C-alpha cells in the first residue's frame, strides 16, 4: 500500500452529500479573516464534476448582481464545511459550460 492509498483511506471517511451536475447547491465555505473564521454561503448551480478520490472537485456557477461568478471547490478540502442540495436538477449533459454565456 503506497502513501496515496493511506491518505485516501483517511480522507475517504468524510461524508459528502450526493449531488449531480445541474443541481442547485448551497456550499458552506470556511473563510478566514485575520485571526477570526466564519462560514460563508455560496449558492449556485453545479456545472461540472471531475476527478475521483481525493482529487475530486466540482464547479459552482452563481449570478451575483448581474455578474456570473464561477468557483471550483475540491470535494475533500477543509474549507468546505458542508454541501446542501437545495434543488434537484435534470441535466442531460456532463458539463454545463453553456450556462456561463446565457
Topology of domain 3-101, per CATH?
Answer: SH3 type barrels. (2.30.30)
Ramachandran angles phi, psi of 35, nearest 5°: -105, 5
Give me the pLDDT at residue 52, please: 83
Chain segment 12-55, per-residue pLDDT in tens: 667 788 999 999 999 999 999 999 999 999 999 999 999 987 88
Report residue 60 as a C-alpha cell.
459552482
Ordered by start, the domain boundaries in the chain are 3-101
Judge whether residue 97 has pLDDT over 90.
yes
How far is it, in rounded angstroms, from Cα 60 to Cα 67?
Answer: 14
Give me the pLDDT at residue 10, please: 73
pLDDT confidence tier of residue 77, bands split at 50, 70 and 90? confident
How far is it, in rounded angstroms, from Cα 11 to Cα 53?
Answer: 9
Concatenating the DSSP letter of every residue in 19-73 gives --TT-EEEEEEEEEETTEEEEEEEEEEEEEEE--GGG-EEEEEEEETTEEEEEEE
- Residue with more model confidence, 16 or 71: 71
Average pLDDT over the chain, rounded to an integer: 90
| Residue in this structure with the C-alpha cell 436538477, named with its chain if needed | 89
Judge whether residue 86 has pLDDT over 80.
yes
Amino acid at each position: 500500500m503506497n502513501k496515496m492509498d493511506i491518505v485516501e483511506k483517511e480522507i475517504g471517511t468524510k461524508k459528502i452529500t450526493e449531488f449531480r451536475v445541474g443541481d442547485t447547491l448551497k456550499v458552506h465555505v470556511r473563510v478566514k479573516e485575520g485571526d477570526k473564521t466564519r462560514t460563508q454561503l455560496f449558492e449556485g448551480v453545479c456545472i461540472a464534476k471531475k476527478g475521483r478520490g481525493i482529487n475530486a472537485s466540482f464547479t459552482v456557477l452563481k449570478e451575483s448582481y448581474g455578474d456570473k461568478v464561477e468557483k471550483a471547490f475540491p470535494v475533500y478540502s477543509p474549507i468546505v464545511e458542508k454541501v446542501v442540495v437545495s434543488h434537484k436538477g435534470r441535466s442531460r449533459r456532463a458539463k454545463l459550460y453553456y450556462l456561463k454565456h446565457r
